[in-house]
């Protein structure tokens, strides 16, 4: 046991492990030091200075986010002098921030606004000088408004270090410093994969989701449109945060009810699509494993951020990719074919909205011609959880009290395997359950594959199916993918046995529960709680394997035919191409 | 690390693409040498075109995001072709006392551009620079690396005539032309 550090904060004794910052030590004794540039996910940069504290013994002012507590330190966090310094920093920050709170997507959910309110920032003698910089809406997934940037650098850290995408950086210096796409070009031409982690980590409205709620409202009012909707696994355990529910509360039934109240004529569930993805993908895996019909390891392709990343940075891995479309695309394609046919509706009138934890889904829906496999664009609009929460509020629905409802089962009934798609490792676990059945003809004695769960960056494990060892890897957060892919590449080049048979990748830390379109403030603690909400539903469910879903069986019997067959291929599968990192 | 040696190692006649590969090979082994490579690149071309920066990044394994952070942080680096004659009027202390602001304004008036700008025909680029390290020659200007000392600050026209007459063409300007 290393020696603990003993010190006092505002006169309260505190004991912490060496290396603990003053900021974290203060939290331990229930002292909340204000922060702006520091995000719990990210290493401190000390950019803003709001978290300044005073060392009583020496009179020094220090940034608590990046200063470790030393033995014997006597820290003061809230003297009039400190408050004055913080107000000064805030006043300077506000002097170059546009006063547009009322027309900003972050209104009432902004870290700068909250600090300004806490510190009672009223009139200032400083002129408001806002840099004249254009909005970047080029990705149509995220919107960059560099005028609102406070130069904290969080988005850059997450884009460069956590995602290894390097689409964002600071340009210039001093007063002219600004956030921009790498190489000062439109974001859509940069390596950006639209994961939206920048927006999820931004403290202000400088990077937000591309809002498409108005399009959806308009369609809902259009008497010619037949609006249907689907919700992703991770949305159900996160949207409640906008309404004061405990983190991780599973609100599936309330979401269905709210969507019907908004005017959607059918309410589907992307979990059904997840089950369907598993049917096709596990079958694809089985034939690659047993019949050698394609490259191993098989790599999952549900995550559009990861698909984009692979196409830009790992083009040599295309053969390893599952050809399965992502679950919401499958539900979209079936809404305009199977559902429309069965209900006798003109598919041209069907308008499919998907509610996703994700900003990249907004780009995925137009990524290739296969996304229009029904003859129409399969998914018309993809909304993030944050947009959906706003829509509930706008529609005047009492989300807390509204009674739960059921989905439209045809494309809405699902198993626990579909639910856990929303967490890192969930796709792998769901696939293993069904792959086991496909290989052996019977269900695994235990369908919980704990090795795939949790927040470790790369998880590895193996199971034995019919005497054959299957090695798997699960990576989340794009920077973690590199080591897995490198291992595969090295083995391939050396002609050695492959390190894995099956790899799951999700672009965002924690998987979709930590997606770039989810409610703000994601930390590992919060990601764990959201994931727990999904695993609880899986445990409690009647069906836990995708191949048990009776509505999936009906779908194949009535409409699709063979698993992996001709029709399934046309509607449920896609292809990939090598993309340049930079479009110019 | 001397710039002259760096330039000498590369054949001027080589195509810029290959030059960048050679340049990247030379610098990529040494950590933290991006700025040296960019310095050399600008020395060759007079500025750092986007395509060259991308190529250099690929060859050195440095993301373009990083390269642009460096390029835009330092005023020294240029992203656009500055012109055939890069006129640097020294505004250091000694030159200032000897009247260099007057010289700078005179050149601005002669060329019809402001400091930091280039003439529309791409012939001239004017910049004010800090001490060039030869204060004994104050007030002075340097054009494409050649120093014009002890200038008459009231005669910007004379300076420009002198420059044109000399045609002190920079290797960089030549290679940029050859592109």
Rounded to a whole number, what is the distance in Å from the CA of A532 to chain B's nearest CA?
A: 37
Q: Across the interface, do B65 and A172 touch by the CB < 8 Å criterion?
A: no
Q: What is the pLDDT of residue B170?
A: 37
Among A10, A149, A124, A177, which Cα is nearest to A78's?
Answer: A10
Long-range contacts of A144-148 (CB under 8 A, 24+ apart): A144/A179, A144/A180, A144/A181, A144/A187, A144/A206, A144/A207, A145/A205, A145/A206, A145/A207, A145/A208, A146/A178, A146/A179, A146/A180, A146/A206, A147/A97, A147/A98, A147/A206, A148/A97, A148/A98, A148/A100, A148/A104, A148/A204, A148/A205, A148/A206
Domains of chain A: 5-78 (3.10.20.740), 94-209 (3.30.70.20), 214-572 (3.40.50.1780)
Residue A479: count other Cβ atoms within 10 Å of its Cβ: 16
pLDDT digits (tens, 9 = 90+) for B16-65: 668 888 888 888 888 888 999 999 999 888 889 999 999 999 999 999 99
Quick check: B132 and B90 in contact, CB under 8 A?
yes
Number of Cα atoms under 13 Å in the Cβ half of residue B119: 15
Chain B residues with CB-CB distance to A171 below 8 A: 68-69, 72
CB distance from B50 to chain A under 8 Å? yes
Among A370, A415, A412, which Cα is nearest to A572's?
Answer: A370
Q: What is the pLDDT of residue B9?
A: 41
Q: What DSSP assignment string belongs to B23-53?
A: HHHHHHTSTT-HHHHHHHHHHHHSS--HHHH
| Mean pLDDT to the nearest integer, B109-126 | 90
| Mean pLDDT to the nearest integer, B75-86 | 84
Q: What is the pLDDT of residue A354?
A: 98
To probe the interface with B, which of A155, A169, A189, A313 has the most B CB atoms within 10 Å?
A169
Which of A168, A172, A173 lies closest to B65 in CB terms? A168
Terminal C-alpha separation, chain A: 55
Which of A167, A172, A582 lies closest to B72 in CB terms? A172
How many A×B Cβ pairs under 8 Å? 36
CB distance from B72 to chain A under 8 Å? yes
| Mean pLDDT to the nearest integer, B121-127 | 88
Quick check: A8 and A74 in contact, CB under 8 A?
yes
Chain B residues with CB-CB distance to A166 below 8 A: 63-66
Q: What DSSP assignment string belongs to A253-273?
A: HHHHHHHHHHT-SEEEEHHHH
Chain A residues with CB-CB distance to B48 below 8 A: none
* Angstrom distance (rounded) from CA A406 to CA A252: 9
Active site residues of A: 281, 284, 302, 322, 361, 364, 370, 512
Chain A residues with CB-CB distance to B53 below 8 A: 183
Q: What is the pLDDT of residue B145?
A: 77
* Angstrom distance (rounded) from CA A203 to CA A568: 44
Residue of A nearest to B72 (CA): A172
R_g (Cα) of chain A, nearest Å: 25
Which of A167, A170, A582 lies closest to B69 in CB terms? A170
* Angstrom distance (rounded) from CA B137 to CA A124: 49
Which of A166, A172, A180 lies closest to B63 in CB terms? A166
R_g (Cα) of chain B, nearest Å: 17
Which of A160, A171, A582 lies closest to B72 in CB terms? A171
* Angstrom distance (rounded) from CA B70 to CA B58: 16
Q: Across the interface, do A167 and B54 touch by the CB < 8 Å criterion?
A: no
Residue B1 has pLDDT above 50, yes or no: no
Please identify among residues 255-294 of chain A the ones whose CB lies closer than 8 Å to any CB of chain B: none
Domains of chain B: 3-73 (no CATH), 85-169 (3.40.30.10)
Among A574, A563, A477, which Cα is nearest to A527's?
Answer: A477
Q: Across the interface, do A183 and B73 touch by the CB < 8 Å criterion?
A: no
Residue of B nearest to A173 (CA): B73
A317 class by beta-carbon count within 10 Å (0-12 exposed, 13-18 middle, 19+ buried)? buried
Q: Are strands A207-209 and A142-144 parallel, antiparallel or unpaired?
A: antiparallel
Cα three-residue angle A221-A223-A226, rounded to 5 degrees: 90
Residue B167 has pLDDT above 70, yes or no: no
* Angstrom distance (rounded) from CA A322 to CA A301: 6
Among A332, A232, A324, which Cα is nearest to A280's?
Answer: A324
Chain A residues with CB-CB distance to B54 below 8 A: 183, 582
Residue A365: count other Cβ atoms within 10 Å of its Cβ: 23
To probe the interface with A, which of B51, B68, B70, B79 has the most A CB atoms within 10 Å?
B68
Q: What DSSP assignment string belongs to A96-157?
A: TS-S-GGGSTTTTS-HHHHHHHHTT----SS---------B-TTSSEEE-GGG-----HHHH
* Angstrom distance (rounded) from CA A52 to CA A35: 9
Q: What is the pLDDT of residue A582?
A: 92
Q: Is the dihedral of CA A29, A35, A40, A43 positive or negative?
A: negative
Q: Across the interface, do B54 and A182 touch by the CB < 8 Å criterion?
A: no
Chain A residues with CB-CB distance to B73 below 8 A: 172-173
Chain B residues with CB-CB distance to A183 below 8 A: 50, 53-54, 64-65, 67-68
Residue of B nearest to A187 (CA): B65
Which of B54, B66, B68 lies closest to A184 in CB terms? B68
Q: What is the pLDDT of residue B32?
A: 81
Quick check: A328 and A342 in contact, CB under 8 A?
no
Chain B residues with CB-CB distance to A172 below 8 A: 72-73
Please identify among residues 154-193 of chain A the ones whose CB lies closer than 8 Å to any CB of chain B: 160, 166-173, 180, 182-184
Which of A167, A172, A183 lies closest to B50 in CB terms? A183
CB distance from B158 to chain A under 8 Å? no
Residue B8 has pLDDT above 60, yes or no: no
Q: Across the interface, do B63 and A173 touch by the CB < 8 Å criterion?
A: no
* Angstrom distance (rounded) from CA A71 to CA A16: 10
Among A91, A66, A62, which Cα is nearest to A76's?
Answer: A62
Q: Across the interface, do A169 and B50 touch by the CB < 8 Å criterion?
A: no
Chain B residues with CB-CB distance to A168 below 8 A: 65
Distances (CA, A) of A487 to A476, A480, A490, A492, A496: 16, 12, 5, 9, 11
Cα three-residue angle A160-A162-A166, rounded to 5 degrees: 20
Q: Across the interface, do A183 and B64 touch by the CB < 8 Å criterion?
A: yes
Q: Are strands A168-171 and A178-181 parallel, antiparallel or unpaired?
A: antiparallel
Q: Would you give the DSSP letter of residue A337?
A: I
Rounded to a whole number, what is the distance in Å from the CA of A482 to chain B's nearest CA?
A: 15
Quick check: A194 and A360 in contact, CB under 8 A?
yes
Among B47, B44, B31, B51, which Cα is nearest to B3's?
Answer: B44
Enumerate residue ranges in chain A where pLDDT < 70. Answer: 1
Residue of B nearest to A177 (CA): B73
Q: What is the pLDDT of residue B10?
A: 40
Which of B53, B54, B68 lies closest to A169 in CB terms? B68
Chain A residues with CB-CB distance to B63 below 8 A: 160, 166, 182
* Angstrom distance (rounded) from CA A284 to CA A293: 8
* B156 SS3 class: helix
Q: Across the interface, do A183 and B72 touch by the CB < 8 Å criterion?
A: no
Instruction: Please report, for chain B, how many H helices and E strands are present, in that order.
Output: 9, 4
Distances (CA, A) of A304 to A195, A196, A249, A366: 8, 11, 26, 11
Among A378, A483, A391, A477, which Cα is nearest to A162's?
Answer: A477
Please identify among residues 102-161 of chain A the ones whose CB lies closer than 8 Å to any CB of chain B: 160
């Amino acid at each position: 046991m290393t020696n603990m550090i003993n010190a006092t904060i505002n006169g309260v004794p505190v004991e912490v492990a060496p290396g603990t910052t003053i900021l974290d030590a203060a939290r331990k004794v229930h002292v909340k030091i204000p922060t702006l540039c520091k995000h719990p996910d990210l290493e401190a940069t000390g950019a803003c200075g709001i978290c300044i504290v005073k060392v009583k013994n020496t009179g020094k002012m220090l940034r608590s986010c990046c200063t470790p507590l030393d033995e014997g330190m006597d820290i003061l966090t809230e003297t009039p002098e400190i408050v004055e310094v913080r107000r000064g920093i805030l006043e300077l920050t506000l002097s170059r921030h546009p006063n547009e709170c009322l027309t900003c997507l972050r209104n009432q959910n902004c870290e700068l606004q909250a600090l300004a309110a806490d510190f009672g920032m009223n009139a200032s003698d400083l002129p408001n000088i806002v840099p004249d910089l254009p909005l970047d809406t080029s990705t149509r997934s995220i919107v960059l408004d560099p005028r609102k940037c406070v130069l904290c650098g969080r988005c850059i850290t997450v884009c460069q270090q956590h995602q290894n995408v390097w689409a964002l950086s600071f340009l210039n210096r001093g007063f002219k410093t600004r956030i921009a796409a790498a190489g000062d070009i439109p974001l859509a031409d940069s390596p950006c994969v639209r994961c939206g982690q920048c927006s999820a980590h931004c403290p202000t409205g400088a990077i937000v989701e591309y809002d498409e709620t108005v399009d959806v409202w308009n369609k809902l009012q259009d008497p010619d449109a037949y609006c249907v909707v689907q919700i992703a696994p991770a949305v159900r355990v996160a949207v409640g945060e906008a309404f004061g529910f405990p983190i991780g509360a599973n609100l599936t039934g309330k979401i269905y009810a709210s969507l019907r109240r908004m005017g959607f004529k059918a309410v589907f569930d992307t979990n059904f699509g997840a089950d369907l993805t598993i049917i096709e993908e596990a079958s694809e895996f089985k034939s690659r494993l047993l019949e050698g019909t394609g490259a191993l390891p098989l790599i999952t392709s549900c995550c559009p951020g990861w698909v984009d990343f692979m196409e830009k940075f790992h083009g040599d891995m295309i053969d390893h990719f599952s050809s399965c479309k992502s679950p919401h695309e499958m539900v979209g394609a079936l809404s305009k074919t199977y559902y429309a046919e069965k209900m006798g509706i003109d598919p041209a009138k069907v308008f499919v909205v998907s509610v996703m934890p994700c900003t990249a889904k907004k780009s995925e829906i137009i990524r290739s011609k296969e996304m229009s496999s029904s003859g129409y664009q399969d998914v018309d609009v993809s909304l993030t959880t944050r947009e959906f929460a706003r829509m509930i509020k706008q529609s005047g629905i009492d989300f807390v009290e509204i009674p739960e409802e059921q989905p439209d089962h045809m494309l809405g009934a699902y198993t626990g395997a579909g639910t856990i798609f929303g967490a890192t490792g969930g796709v792998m676990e769901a696939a293993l359950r069904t792959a086991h059945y496909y290989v052996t003809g019977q269900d695994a004695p235990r369908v919980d594959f704990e090795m795939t769960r949790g927040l470790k960056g790369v998880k590895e494990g193996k199971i034995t199916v019919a005497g054959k060892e299957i090695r798997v890897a699960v990576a989340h957060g794009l920077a973690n993918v590199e080591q897995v892919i490198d291992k595969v590449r090295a083995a391939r080049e050396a002609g050695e046995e492959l390190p894995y048979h099956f790899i799951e990748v999700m672009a965002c830390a924690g998987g979709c529960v930590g997606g770039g379109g989810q409610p703000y403030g994601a930390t590992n603690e919060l990601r764990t709680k959201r994931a727990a909400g999904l695993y609880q539903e899986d445990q409690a469910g009647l069906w836990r394997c995708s191949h048990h879903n009776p509505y999936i069986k009906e779908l194949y019997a009535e409409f699709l035919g063979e698993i992996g067959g001709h029709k399934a291929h046309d509607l449920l599968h896609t292809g990939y191409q090598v993309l340049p990192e930079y479009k110019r | 690390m001397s710039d002259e040696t760096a330039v000498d190692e590369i054949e001027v006649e080589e195509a810029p693409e290959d030059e960048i590969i050679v340049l990247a090979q030379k610098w990529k082994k040494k950590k933290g040498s991006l700025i040296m490579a960019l310095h050399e690149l600008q020395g060759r071309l007079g500025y750092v075109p986007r395509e060259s920066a991308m190529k250099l990044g690929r060859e050195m394994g440095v993301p373009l995001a990083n390269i642009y952070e460096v390029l835009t942080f330092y005023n020294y680096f240029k992203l656009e072709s500055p012109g055939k004659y890069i006129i640097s009027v020294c505004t250091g202390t000694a030159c200032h006392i000897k009247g260099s602001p007057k010289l700078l304004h005179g050149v601005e008036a002669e060329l019809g551009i402001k400091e930091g700008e280039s003439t529309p025909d791409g012939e001239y680029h004017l910049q004010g620079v800090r001490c060039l390290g030869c204060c004994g020659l104050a007030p002075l200007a340097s054009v494409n690396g050649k120093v014009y000392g002890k200038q008459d600050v009231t005669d910007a026209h004379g300076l420009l005539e002198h420059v044109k007459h000399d045609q002190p063409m920079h290797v960089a300007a030549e290679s940029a032309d050859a592109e």
